[in-house]
Amino acid sequence: MPIFGKGKTKITEEEFALALSTLLKMRLSHEQLNETAALINFDISKEKNFERLFNELYKLNMWIITHSCERIFDDIEKRDKCLDIFHRQIHQAYNKAIKEQVSFDDWILDMVTKYSEYNDALVSDKPPGHLWALARVLNIGIFGKLNKDVFIHTALGEYIGSGIKTTESTLKQYMVS
DSSP state of 173: T
Q: C-alpha distances in angstroms, 98 versus 84, 105, 158?
A: 21, 16, 30
Instruction: State mean pLDDT over 147-159.
Output: 94
Tell me how many helices (H) and strands (E) the chain has: 7, 2
Q: Which amino acid is at 58?
A: Y
pLDDT level of residue 1 (50, 70, 90 thresholds): very low
- Per-position DSSP letters for 1-48, written without gaps between them: --SS-TTSEEE-HHHHHHHHHHHHHHHTSHHHHHHHHHHTT---SSHH
In this prediction, what percent of the chain has a pLDDT beyond 70?
95
* C-beta separation of 99 from 17 below 8 A: no
- State pLDDT tens for residues 42-65: 999 999 999 999 999 999 999 999
Looking at residue 6, what is its pLDDT?
Answer: 61
How far apart are the C-alpha atoms of 26 and 55, rounded to whole Å?
Answer: 15
* C-beta separation of 60 from 121 below 8 A: no
- Per-position DSSP letters for 55-79, written without gaps between them: HHHHHHHHHHHHHHHHHH-S-HHHH
